[in-house]
Amino acid sequence: MADSSFSTLKARLSTDRPVSDRVLFGLALLGALVAVHLLIQQGRGFDRGCLGFSEPAAAQQAGTFNCEMVTQSGAGTLLGVSNAWWGIGFYLAVAGLSTGAAFAARVALLTGGLAYSAYLTYHQFAGLGALCALCLTSAAIALTLFLVQAVALARPAPSSSATAAPSFADSSPEPVSAMTDSSMTASSSRRPALWAGAALALLVLVGADVAYFSSLEPADADQPVASAETGAPATAPQAPSSSSEGAPADQQQQQQKKQTPAKSTSAAPSPSAAAADTTPAGWSASATRSSELPTRR
């Protein structure tokens, strides 16, 4: 009984399943992209939130999702290496094993990856009380990979009789078998091109992700002072004083004219004025009285 179960499991592990291999390969590339994005945001200190697309002011408000707290905790590293690097290696290994015939190694790797992801998720909820959105996304991808592999193993391995069409009196299964072999050969020949195209798409997305966030300044540098934008000192606006500093140009000129001492015209008296000043006071008084007397005929 045990020998038959082992032989059945061995047969299922050695069976080529193109559909599940493609699904696992695509999910592994997606997980690698998420791990690279996590590594980029970790290097920036999550200055724009967990996903990297939040406003700096909103990112500073630490709530339930606090990726920086999770990644800087004791569970954020394994053997002194960040979990983001471990995730990149894990997903690339799964993608590589999906292109070959190492089905048993892939099952073991997916089982270990799911167990470690479950531990990290439990540590976030129970130990820290803070969550990392990118870490949870990676854990969800690891769970999906394991489920796809489990479904593929649960399905019985196709036998040679199942691939052949039912025989009839007027036909033989040889043509059908030949058509099946030709379709499988064509599918196998297209598979390397699909692997290469998907890997190239991953490289393009990773390059775009790195280039975009490399062009962004840190959040503290995105809030320059007023002098950096307008050339004016970054000070609060002051109320205009009573002096001429806040007045327009014409008012300043008028105030300057008022403040300039006017030249007195009495500084250089005219000859008539000097003569009037030297006239005795009695003469001027008698002249005034004589002008008031009536004239005699």
**pLDDT per residue as tens digits for the range 111-160:** 999 999 999 999 999 888 889 999 999 999 999 999 999 998 887 765 54
Cα 107 from Cα 111, distance rounded (Å)? 6
Residue range 277-288: average pLDDT? 47
The residue with greater pLDDT, 68 or 274, is 68
pLDDT, residue 174, reads 46
pLDDT, residue 14, reads 61
Superfamily of domain 17-157+195-217: VKOR domain (1.20.1440.130)
pLDDT at 66 over 60: yes
Domain parsing of the chain, residue ranges: 17-157+195-217
Mean pLDDT of all residues belonging to the chain: 72
Angle at CA 51, nearest 5°, toward 48 and 57? 25
pLDDT at 58 over 70: no
| Structural contact between residues 155 and 148, judged by C-beta atoms closer than 8 angstroms | no
Residues 6+ apart with CB under 8 A from 31: 87, 90, 91, 94, 138, 141, 142, 145
Residue range 230-253: average pLDDT? 50
Percent of the chain with pLDDT over 70: 54
Residue range 95-100: average pLDDT? 88
**pLDDT per residue as tens digits for the range 182-236:** 555 555 667 778 888 888 999 999 999 999 988 888 776 445 433 344 444 444 4
Residue range 56-65: average pLDDT? 63
With b for 16 or more beta-carbon neighbours within 10 A and e for fewer, the 19-48 pattern comes to ebbbbbbbbbbbbbbbbbbbbbbbeeebbb
CB neighbourhood size of 152 (10 A):
19
Q: What is the DSSP letter of 265?
A: G
β-bridge partners, 49: 47
Which among 200, 214, 216, 206 is positioned nearest to 37, based on CA atoms? 206
pLDDT, residue 260, reads 54
Torsion-angle region of residue 169: left (phi > 0), alpha (psi -120 to 50) or beta?
alpha
pLDDT, residue 5, reads 58
The residue length of the chain stands at: 297
Angle at CA 200, nearest 5°, toward 196 and 206? 145
**Could you give the 3-state DSSP secondary structure of residue 19?**
helix
Position 75 confidence tier, pLDDT thresholds 50, 70, 90:
confident
pLDDT, residue 127, reads 85
pLDDT, residue 187, reads 58
Helices of type H across 101-173: 103-122, 133-154, 160-163
Residue range 5-34: average pLDDT? 79
